Amino acid sequence: MFKLICATLIVQIKNSWARPMFRFTLLASPFLNTILIYEMFQHSHTVNAAAFIILGSGLMGLWSSICFSSVGDITRERNMGVLPFLFSSPTNFNVLILAKVIGNTLLAMLSLLVAIATADLLFDLTLSIPHPVLLTLMLLIMVISFIAISVPISYAMLLSRKTGLYMNLLDIPVTLLCGFVFPLSTLPQWTRPLSAVLIPTWTTQLVQQTLQVKIDWSVIKVASIWTIVLLALYTTLTTLLWRIIATQVRQTGSLEVQE
């Protein structure tokens, strides 16, 4: 299984990089977002604005890359006529989807480097990292969180031909609700429950705290608890979705034509 995941991951990275739209989302999007967010924060007097500018633009590019790749893979494989073969192959379909999502997520991390380079070269902004070891750990947890939310979304898109519409609906709202760019306190109160059920909301807080000189451990504790709970919830949701999808596909045989 390890060899299968590694092989699928490598192929997925190569295929994703070969698509011009993915390269635009991965490279041009964080570059442009860094400039835009810098202009928005330039006169805001926000504490540690550099972290919001660099991390925010990087996370926007990261989420967009994942959203338009992991979810979009279902449509591409359906259009190429290989989705039924992947679904019915002796290889575990769940492992294939997981490997594809991991590959897309790892490649999408490049958007963070683009944001850091853009801020440094254009605006002489550097990202202060007072706790490098802790930051590395939190970034790893963030990668896991993006994988955890991408897999059930990919499964939910499996029986629909409207993935393009759903991808566009997911992109900007999740960016806003998870606090990638703006503090959640600036959003209306009614959005808080929506933010709370999205795991990137909490892992973003974990990463943001590690960029502070003085860490608020109470925030770390709450965000860690929510992250663990949501990981368990997303895993359960993924399992339930897979059972529903597998049963429906076997009963209807309509994997390619289901609307």
In a domain, 92, yes or no: yes
pLDDT grade, residue 224 (50/70/90)?
Answer: very high
The total number of structural domains that make up the chain: 1
In a domain, 34, yes or no: yes
In a domain, 258, yes or no: no
Mean pLDDT of 34-56: 80
CA atoms within 13 Å, Cβ hemisphere of 143: 19
In a domain, 259, yes or no: no
Please report the DSSP string for 27-86 in residue order: IIHHHHHHHHHHHHHTTS--TTHHHHHHHHHHHHHHHHHHHHHHTHHHHHHHHTT-HHHH
Taking only the tens place, the pLDDT of each residue in 79-119 is 777 777 777 777 777 788 788 888 888 888 888 899 899 98
3-state secondary structure string, 12-35? HHHHHHHCHHHHHHHHHHHHHHHH
Question: Which of 12-16, 152-156, 214-218, 222-226 is predicted most confidently?
Answer: 222-226
Alpha-carbon span 105 to 45, nearest angstrom: 33
Domain range for 194: 2-252
| Predicted TM-score (pTM) of this structure | 0.83
